[in-house]
Amino acid sequence: MDSESGSQLVWSENLKAYEEDLARLMDAGGPFSEVVEGYSDRPMQLEMAQAIARAIVRCETFVAEAGTGTGKTFAYLVPALMWGGKVIISTGTRNLQDQLFFRDIPTVRKALASPVTVALLKGRSNYVCRLHLARAAEYGRLETKADTRYLREIVRFADMTDTGDKSDLPTVPETASVWNLVTSTKENCPGTECPHYQDCFVMKARRSAQQADVVVVNHHLFFADVVLKDTGVAELLPTANTVIFDEAHQLPDTATTFFGQFVSTGQIHELCRDTQVEGLSQARDGADWVALVGRLDKATKDLRLTLPEGMNRMAVHQIAKREAFMAALEAFREALEELNGALTEQAQRSELLEVCRARSEQTDVFVRKWLALAKGEEKTEDVLWVETFGLSLQLHLTPLSIADVFNKQREGTPRAWIFTSATLAIKQDFSYFSSRMGLMEAESKTWPSPFDYGENAMLYVPQNMPQPMSPQYSDAVVEAALPLIEASGGGAFILCTTLRAVDRISTRLREIFREREWPFPLFVQGESGKTDLLERFRKSGNGVLVGSQSFWEGVDVRGKALSLVIVDKLPFAPPDDPVLAARIRALEKEGGNGFMDFQLPEAIMSLKQGAGRLIRDERDRGVLMICDTRLVSKPYGRRIWQSLPPFARTRDEAVACGFFRDGDRNRTV
């Protein structure tokens, strides 16, 4: 036997032993039964764990869809912790990040009696910066009395905390504007020149991550590092033998955001603020800082005024007053260039002035490039567009595809790359997700939910609904939903595709609940934070929650508190979205079909996430009501509902209501 064959035999025997160990450990009578109440055999969970084990041993890329209830978290944690080495786990939400760090990993570590060390790594904006805290305390111009009080609390917190993590200071809301003054960004951090460098909370977190066996991050942090090299992940990745992406369905959009470039008016206002404070403090005689900053600040506001009010996304050619916009952008660039010149002359007088100079120069380079592309002076495959909010705007340059650039990030040291979520495939076909991420050669497999959807859940599509574009559509959704809400006794999510629908539907429900004296508490997105709304919804037991995109995924409400999920429309992205429109044009130029190859798969992925809110436990029962009749009237509708779990189906209101009222099991297809 030659040496190569011999090593292959040893490798195969090791893998077989590895899989056998997994089966023993995850057996109902194994160690997990002692640390997890009610632990039982889950054949699909074991099968998924063994498939991930093979990918880890072979340093392969593996894409896994695991339906709700499969137990995917343990399915990747157990083999990863058993195999050892450095493991990076990236999640889509902060909630899952905390769940992994504080609950799931400690449970697996205890069951395995494993000594692995674990670190939770967040972006620098989550940690107090001692330098900026001192500056804010000395020079800060705080807008409210609340911010003044919050600042005093943060000063005391910084003297007592070991982590500097703002989530450890719950008395100061995470949305408080004062956090922007006392945390750092890559642009305004002086790095090793900082007098607090050795005691920096960000650096402490990164050192902890360097030493840990398992590091939990989130997708935004991971991709911010790929682009900015500013999160500590870059230092971790070369030593990692396994990288796991949970909630991987979010990766294409997250990666697109970070592989693109943008400049926001918020960044400009921060640059103006920091430049004025540091200029007056360290180089008062070097320039008229107040006048320079004032001109740039005014030019920034004038630029915003050339665009419509409210929230909008526009490609350059869609801007109604393009000449006025381009003229204002030129004036903005000139004011930025003027400030940049003064900073270049005075930068040597302090570290922070040099930081401001680097920020202004980087912004100036981007704005020049954006202008040249907008004028057609340069060519690009990227999408040029503008996004507006209330008083601010962003200039974007977004790649049409991130597949090539993401593949380059995966080159180099061989390691396992695991991608998992409950929604990655369309009828067990992974090609849409894989093509967007450049994973066409990766092995993939789907494990369906073990829950009995045919017995415990029903898909109801009402009859006689108007077309989704009808002005009366939201009112029709309310009228169709009322019998179901009454029959279920509340416990309902109404998931909308637009904020306008959230407003209209919640307004009508509030009026009707009052008129009929129905006892259902109404919770509406925007009236308080998402966490607070969900907590009050759970406690109510019979609430009705109306929300849009942020409630379609990452929400886990079990039991009778949620037994009815109502979707107002199929979640097709607006066709005039500049990035979507550009992708459709590129697809069709190559002979594809923009709707079938992009818009429909996107809608299916989103709908699967929304539908996934309904059944979270084997004891859950409920109805998924999709008001959009295109699900049954259009040829593509079949492809959509066949991608959902195998619900019983009906179009009969009485049957759907009967599901709640008297346990009627009559089903129609």
Question: How long is the chain?
Answer: 669
665 pLDDT above the threshold of 70: no
What mean pLDDT is reported for the chain? 88
pLDDT tens, position by position, 400-411: 888 888 888 788
Say which CATH number the domain at 339 has: 1.20.120
- Which are the contacts of 89, defined by CB distance < 8 A and separation ≥ 6? 76, 80, 100, 214, 215, 216, 217, 244, 246
Query: Do both 487 and 437 map to the same domain?
Result: no
Query: Do both 538 and 632 map to the same domain?
Result: yes
Distance from C-alpha of 66 to C-alpha of 115, rounded to nearest angstrom: 28
Interval 335-349 mean pLDDT = 93
The last residue of one of the domains, among 412, 447, 482, is 447
Sign for the pseudo-dihedral over CA of 333, 335, 338, 344: negative
Q: Which residue has the higher pLDDT, 657 or 528?
A: 657
Q: What is the full DSSP assignment across 277-295?
A: HHHHHH-TTT--HHHHHHH
Asked if residue 480 is part of any domain, the answer here is yes
Say which CATH number the domain at 520 has: 3.40.50.300
Asked if residue 329 is part of any domain, the answer here is yes
What is the model's pLDDT at position 663? 52
What is the model's pLDDT at position 215? 94
- CB neighbourhood size of 635 (10 A): 7
| In the chain, % of residues over pLDDT 90 | 55
Query: Do both 503 and 625 map to the same domain?
Result: yes
User: 385: pLDDT confidence band, cut at 50, 70 and 90?
Assistant: very high
| The token pair that represents 417 in the structure block | 């790359």
Query: Do both 354 and 480 map to the same domain?
Result: no
User: 8: pLDDT confidence band, cut at 50, 70 and 90?
Assistant: very low
486 Rama sector, left if φ>0, alpha if ψ -120 to 50, beta otherwise? alpha
Asked if residue 635 is part of any domain, the answer here is yes
- Which are the contacts of 96, defined by CB distance < 8 A and separation ≥ 6? 246, 247, 554
Asked if residue 25 is part of any domain, the answer here is yes
The 8-class DSSP code of residue 560 comes to G
Query: Do both 605 and 461 map to the same domain?
Result: yes
| The token pair that represents 182 in the structure block | 């006392």
pLDDT tens, position by position, 562-586: 999 999 999 998 877 888 888 888 8
Q: What is the CA radius of gyration of the chain?
A: 27
Asked if residue 285 is part of any domain, the answer here is yes
Q: Could you tell me which residues are beta bridge partners of residue 120? A: 216
Residue indicated by tokens 């430049």: 275
Residue indicated by tokens 């993590």: 165
Instruction: Look at the chain and report how many structural domains it folds into.
Output: 3
Query: Do both 504 and 612 map to the same domain?
Result: yes
CB 249 within 8 Å of CB 604: no
Interval 530-551 mean pLDDT = 89
Query: Do both 628 and 563 map to the same domain?
Result: yes
Query: Do both 437 and 383 map to the same domain?
Result: no
Interval 654-659 mean pLDDT = 94
User: 12: pLDDT confidence band, cut at 50, 70 and 90?
Assistant: low
Distance from C-alpha of 336 to C-alpha of 32, rounded to nearest angstrom: 60
HEC secondary structure over 160-192: HCCCCEHHHCCCCCCCCCCHHHHCCCCCCCCHH
Q: 522: part of which helix (H) or strand (E)? A: strand 522-524
Query: Do both 526 and 565 map to the same domain?
Result: yes
Interval 202-208 mean pLDDT = 90
Which range has highest mean pLDDT (138-142, 250-254, 444-448)? 444-448
Query: Do both 265 and 346 map to the same domain?
Result: yes
| The token pair that represents 529 in the structure block | 């934070």
CB 249 within 8 Å of CB 424: yes
What is the model's pLDDT at position 29? 87
CB 223 within 8 Å of CB 258: yes
529 pLDDT above the threshold of 80: no
What is the model's pLDDT at position 526? 84
Interval 34-62 mean pLDDT = 92
- CB neighbourhood size of 468 (10 A): 18
Query: Do both 320 and 467 map to the same domain?
Result: no
What is the model's pLDDT at position 299? 95
Interval 171-193 mean pLDDT = 85
Euclidean distance between the first and final Cα of the chain, in Å? Answer: 61
Query: Do both 80 and 15 map to the same domain?
Result: yes
Interval 168-197 mean pLDDT = 86
Which regions of 240-382 does DSSP assign to beta strands (E)? 240-245, 261-264, 312-315
664 pLDDT above the threshold of 60: no
142 pLDDT above the threshold of 80: no
Asked if residue 443 is part of any domain, the answer here is yes
Ramachandran angles phi, psi of 272, nearest 5°: -60, -45
Distance from C-alpha of 188 to C-alpha of 469, rounded to nearest angstrom: 47
Q: Which residue has the higher pLDDT, 39 or 228?
A: 39
Q: Containing domain of residue 519, as a range?
A: 453-661
Asked if residue 131 is part of any domain, the answer here is no
* SS3 of residue 92 by DSSP: coil
1 pLDDT above the threshold of 80: no
Asked if residue 185 is part of any domain, the answer here is no
For the sheet containing 492-495, what is the strand order? 522-524, 544-547, 492-495, 564-567, 622-626, 457-460, 648-650
Cα 50 to the chain's mean position, in Å? 28
Q: CA angle at residue 593 from 590 to 598, to 5 degrees?
A: 105
Q: Which of 557, 554, 556, 493 is nearest to 525 (CA)?
A: 493
